[in-house]
Structure 1
């Protein structure tokens, strides 16, 4: 039997289905099913109870997974020790980036890969670090806003100052609001949080306002572009629109207000399951990302 097939079995157990494991490992589902079947044949016992709606371990499978995980952990540790002696860090890291963070994070990732040329970086666009971590089998994911109850580790990276912005053409056509309450008389472009809630209650130090947006998107890039294209007023982290503010494509309004901040997080599994390459990249991101602000 092959080590890759044993690791595939553990991935199926971790994610709870052949389909989830196939998505995480970028494999056809039929490939996963066939390889698990071959593993069961070589062992001479079924590892899973299969129904059309569920997948669960047999008694033999439960005992096998516990001992197998220990063996695979030891094997991975031994491989890492050899790599360390050769001063080579190898492996593949799947990273989930939020919309509009590519340009910010790219220099950090490229610098890491220049230092460790044998590491393959597989970059994925995501909207929710918690759900996409499992759907896409990510090793590391960025996340914005509130946290969810999970076994994942969440490390705070930075605080993002938000600002109220509009395009010069929009302000010329519809006028500039001078108070928080006047925002209600304008076209509003809002984000949708990963939880599904709409970010339409804009909080300030002394007051808040509930708005009724004309456009809503769970992609902050769409919100930014819609605001640049004169579709309305947006409430966007300043770090993500730095170029637009410098070029004049967007104008900050109601600048006298003290606005809320949004937290940026780095998500990853428990350290014991991380590869050496992932641990090194996590440390790099934790050290370098806060410098972006």
Structure 2
């Protein structure tokens, strides 16, 4: 079930990347991108789709982290088998924990807890994708010591927060609608910054969301979950999903996550187009680019 023959590593994602999407396994921004070769952001576009206007902030952040790659024991694998563990309530009572722990790469999202949920979600974490508002004060509580903490910069103040943390500067929280933590107990060598290319491609190629939005139209951006799926499709040879799937919109009392108290009512004014994302995941499943580990809606 889990250990696919190497043959599948060659052909599994072929249909997905035979379209206009170009696959890249370079996930994180590097310091040398700014010194030794030209970094080509999208013309006139800022975060979350490009770095224009934030170059100096990024230089300071990347100088403080010093590491920009995946660990060698993963990078050197001939076939990278990955699972993206979403936060959906669909993973509850699945007993998938041991299965999830056997993958080469386990990608988790935001501040989703592990402690107390190990039977369903496992306890291995290779990558945790987050943004400042979803950072836990002590990542060690729900991550391993070698977990890569990969920040998705949505706005300039996200980078400012990370710089203040890394250089132990005075924190400024007033510009955030949901103030992020003032203390983040993380090893700087495990911090990475996701290349905005992946956010742009997720929105543009997977969701076909125009940017900038048409006048008078609501602006949507991808969820961290769908972004993580696109990252996995680029980096991994086999991509499986667990913890994805929203309840029907009409049932506003249904819980969204396997943890916490949020229900579908909280999604009424969401900046995410969950209907469109559901269709994108369904297309990926139909062409064999991803496979779910449990039944889903």
TM-score by length of 1: 0.24
Q: Could you say which structure has the higher helix fraction?
A: 1
Higher relative contact order (CA 8 A, sep 6+): 2
TM-score by length of 2: 0.24
Q: Could you say which structure has the higher strand fraction?
A: 1
